[in-house]
Amino acid sequence: MRGLRSELGRVRGLGSAKEGVQHWWLQRVTAVALVPLLVWFLIGLIAHSGADHQAVIAWLGHPLTFGLFLLLLGAGLWHLALGLQVIIEDYVHGEGLRLALILLVKFGCIALALTGAIALFTIAFGN
């Protein structure tokens, strides 16, 4: 495959989408980050299954939980935005609708990440 690319194309590193492998690579980077974060998250959820509000607040407000949860939200919603974008690009063929849906996904994921972060800050640092 390498042999079929022009020297210029190889130097620029851009494919037909004109943005190189940035999207593909970020999908993998966030995926790698999410593996340990999700293992931690699942163990935490199991440990707090049936816990009352006070215990859950104590867990979420702990600096370690707070930090890892922020990373989980950031990596997870970034990964979600990238993944949903690919699905939309593959199956939605109308130019206008496709652009609208991709924007909706990106705005939605940013809003969700921000909302979750504000909730975590409120829990960790009080009202």
Partner 1 sequence: MGADGRDENDRSIPSDPAQPPAHHPARPLSPHLQIYRPQLTTVLSISHRITGIVLGAGAVALVVWLVAAAYGPEAFACMQALAGSILGRVLLFAFTFCLLYHLLNGIRHLVWDTGHGLELDAVYLSGKLVVGGTIVLTIAIWIAGIAARGGF
> What is the distance between the terminal CA atoms of the chain, rounded to a whole angstrom?
58
Q: Which residue's CB is nearer to partner 1, number 11 or number 91?
A: 91
Binding residues for partner 1 (CB under 8 A): 28, 31-32, 34-35, 38, 42, 45-51, 53-54, 56-57, 60, 73, 76-77, 80, 83-84, 87, 112, 115-116, 118-120, 122-123
* Nearer of residues 83 and 98 to partner 1, judged by Cβ: 83
In the numeric block, the tokens 């975590």 are attached to 120
Residue labelled with tokens 């849906």: 101
Residue (91 or 95) nearer to partner 1, CB: 91
109 CB-contact burial (10 Å; exposed 0-12 / middle 13-18 / buried 19+) = buried
What minimum distance in Å lies between the beta carbon of 120 and partner 1?
Answer: 6
Nearer to partner 1, 50 or 96 (CB): 50
CB of 40 to partner 1, least distance (A): 12
Could you tell me which of 80, 56, 55, 73 has the C-alpha nearest to residue 118? 73
